[in-house]
Amino acid sequence: MARLKTFYFDDASFMPQSDNYPGSIGDSGVKRISVIYPFLLLIIVSFISVAFSVESVFASHIMVRPDKKNTQVKHSDKYLGYINRSDVKLFIRDLEAKEQLPRRDTERVIGLAKRSDKALELMGRKVENQLAWKDYHKIFLTTERINQGIVFWEKNARALAQAEIEYGVPASIIVAVLGVETAYGRQTGGFSVLDALTTLSFDYPPRNKFFKNELKEFLKLVLEQKIKHPENIRGSYAGAMGIPRFMPSIYRTYAVDFTGDGRSNIWDYSEDAVGSVANYLCKLGWQKGMPVVSKVRDQTRIANEFPQASSLRPDKTLAELGKMGWYPDMALPPEVKKATTITLEAEQGPEYWLGFTNYYAITRYHPSQMYAMAVVQLAKEVKSGYNHAATQVKEQVPETGKT
């Protein structure tokens, strides 16, 4: 009989039965098989266990990947999908009903918005809330920023002169505002304005009403100017734009064209930024030729219980302030009737100042006592440097026509 070949682990294992085959089953064969079978059974069970283990490993990987992917999708829906939120949909419907903004257009723009966690973080970390004047003013009153302001003035002398004539705001103040805001256009911000405004409108309850209004104005700006990629407009974490850091509502109301090209490009043209700042301060109540602040004459005689400013607006008469020792150290025009008190924590102790209507105009640009004083003092330093540089240039020009 022909022999059948097969794979085996032992000579007698899985062999066909044959009387002629030396290893055919007999008494001795039974004994051999009885000894071998347990080992075979152990090997088979081990093999099956390994197989199941390998299968379970692959199965675990197959199951983990979809779960991880699903988690990411949920995260994306929560933080990036503003257009799918019910409060956003209500906002869009209100814009269509009250502002006549086409729903399809606003949905397209807001659909591009992504949540900015960094904007939310920075909203609670304003510099004015953390620093005293002795530290705050060092950020802006540096030699570098003063020199940059002088150079900016020299490059934009014509636009600054025109703005001063048209709006009555001194060139030094305009330059200083731009210097404090963005270092003359060097620090305009790297945030997507669309992302920042959308995030703060719907995920920052303390001021969501303010930011919803700014988002509305931004949407109007995008649609009016037919901006194809609004997500690329860059600004501050609060959505302020361009060299002067205008919020969208301020831009749409006060930005002016100082280049004559029919548009106000406050992102790229310093002339438009200059004219827009001057126009804005003028509309905020700047009074031509009037003082901004005055240091109190005798700093040591201020009463222990001196009057605290109830607001940034000048709300006390000079006569009232004089009774408590708050006399200005300069002669004031007769038109100046009221002032507000200013206290700065300087290196050598408190400094006391009086702020007038023009001081208040600066605080309306940015509602901060220290901001306004930084603008005032930077303006003084830049003006001094500019005049000095102009004098030197004039002295170096050779006189002609003499024999």
Owner of token pair 């003082």: 291
> Distance between CA atoms of 83 and 221, rounded to whole angstroms?
19
Q: Which of 164, 181, 214, 217 is an active site residue?
A: 181
Q: Are strands 316-317 and 191-192 parallel, antiparallel or unpaired?
A: unpaired
Angle, nearest 10°, between helix axes 193-203 and 103-110?
Answer: 100
DSSP letter at 353 equals E
Biggest alpha carbon–alpha carbon distance for the chain: 145
CA distance linking residue 180 with residue 91, whole number of Å: 35
Rg of the chain in Å (alpha carbons): 39
Amino acid letter, residue 388 = H
Judge whether 344 and 350 are in contact, CB under 8 Å: yes
Is residue 181 part of the annotated active site? The answer reads yes
Contacts of 354 (CB under 8 A, 6+ apart): 293, 294, 295, 296, 321, 326, 328, 339, 340, 341, 342
Catalytic residue numbers?
181
